[in-house]
Amino acid sequence: MDGLDALKGKYLEGISGAGDESALEEIRLAALGKKGEISLKMRELGKMDPEQRQATGQALNALKDEIDTALRAKKEALGDAALDARLKTEWLDVTLPGRPRGQGTIHPVSQVTDEVTAIFADMGFAVAEGPQIESDWYNFDALNIAPEHPARQEHDTFFMHRDAGDNRPPHVLRTHTSPVQIRAMQDQGAPIRVIAPGRVYRMDMDQTHAPMFHQIEGLAIDRDLSMANLKWVLEEFLSAFFETRVATRFRASHFPFTEPSAEVDIQCSWVGGQLRIGEGDGWMEVLGSGMVHPHVLRAGGIDPEEWQGFAFGIGIDRLAMLKYGIPDLRAFFESDLRWLRHYGFASLDMPTVHGGLSR
């Protein structure tokens, strides 16, 4: 019996000193677990004579209850302390004013790119991409622009630096999205229908030119595509984009990568200094196009005896200026917040052909 008092002292002290629930659990196992000290003592009761068994049994049960109660009480206290500590670190003052969040807008170039992509997607054109740092082969040679061709100078190309003594031709910042035609043909073969929106670069800067601007390239190759298909696709596109029926005028032109080539004008009028697209008897140039030159098909790994098609290139920034009445191209890239808020679009208005292209 004396031994029990010592046990009691030991366990109650241990319980009151336990710092967390796992320490408490260790004590419970040591005392009351299957092989715990008190459980072992319970087992010895069987060997005792009846009188001794009764007395010791009662004392053991009482001790067991006492330890049990102490364990429970301590467990609750530890839980409360843990909750208090958590509440202290996680408090939230719901009366504080909310944090202001800057509301961004979609840049007109992104908006117009999405609009154009949605319209061409509806006509079965997938999006293709290529690098902005391009080899001179993709940017020029593969597009039938030979080294001595005047178009190379006209493009005001930015060249990438090569180390002294490295005589390979330098890479360029692509001067147009047309090299993506070659990459897409090499990747996908024929038939193919892709558009390629992206940044392009030329050394040029005034109210209507920036050293970086955006184009969308289009390419469709099949067995018997013709200029008639090109004209239909472009008129469908322009009418959907400007949200009014737009007539086009094809003017014979020259691009090294197309034969024949055409510059395309859209019908417009100037009334009181205001431009109206799709009406009147004025014409404004918006894009270049033509039937893909056999040399270009071959550079893309496609047999010109079997396949033919059309291509076109459109300036995205100019489309944005025309549709949304933005006067100065340079402001597009100045990141002036007042300009961005004025001309930007709500971020949740995704342009779709059926749900509406712009709001």
Give the residues lining the site for ligand DAH (CB under 6 A): 176, 178, 217, 255, 258, 288-290, 311-313
User: Could you tell me if 263 and 254 are in contact, meaning their C-beta atoms sit under 8 angstroms apart?
Assistant: no
In the complex, least distance from residue 191 CB atom to ligand DAH, rounded to whole angstroms: 17
Residues forming beta bridges with residue 314, ordered by sequence position:
216, 287
In the complex, least distance from residue 330 CB atom to ligand DAH, rounded to whole angstroms: 19
In the complex, least distance from residue 255 CB atom to ligand DAH, rounded to whole angstroms: 4
Query: First vs last Cα of the chain: how many Å apart?
Result: 90
Give one DSSP letter per residue of 95-110, joined into a string.
Answer: TSPPPP-----B-HHH
**Angle at Cα 113 formed by Cα 356 and Cα 182, nearest 5°?**
130
Residue among 284 and 350 whose Cβ is closer to ligand DAH: 284
Residue whose C-alpha is closest to residue 332's, from 219, 250, 211, 167: 211
Residue among 154 and 328 whose Cβ is closer to ligand DAH: 154
Relative to beta strand 274-277, strand 258-271 is antiparallel
By Cβ distance, which residue is nearest to ligand DAH?
313
**Angle at Cα 73 formed by Cα 67 and Cα 76, nearest 5°?**
140
- Considering only CA atoms, give the Rg of the chain: 40
Residue among 18 and 195 whose Cβ is closer to ligand DAH: 195
Residue among 263 and 279 whose Cβ is closer to ligand DAH: 263
Residue among 11 and 312 whose Cβ is closer to ligand DAH: 312
* C-alpha span between 56 and 44 (Å, rounded): 10
How far is CA 66 from each of CA 11, 13, 22, 60, 256, rounded to the nearest angstrom? 10, 12, 20, 10, 98
Residue among 263 and 349 whose Cβ is closer to ligand DAH: 263
In the complex, least distance from residue 282 CB atom to ligand DAH, rounded to whole angstroms: 22
In the complex, least distance from residue 289 CB atom to ligand DAH, rounded to whole angstroms: 5
In the complex, least distance from residue 288 CB atom to ligand DAH, rounded to whole angstroms: 3
Return the axis-axis angle of helices 227-242 and 108-122, rounded to nearest 10°: 130
Residue among 106 and 109 whose Cβ is closer to ligand DAH: 109
In the complex, least distance from residue 313 CB atom to ligand DAH, rounded to whole angstroms: 2
Beta strands in 48-132 (DSSP E): 126-127
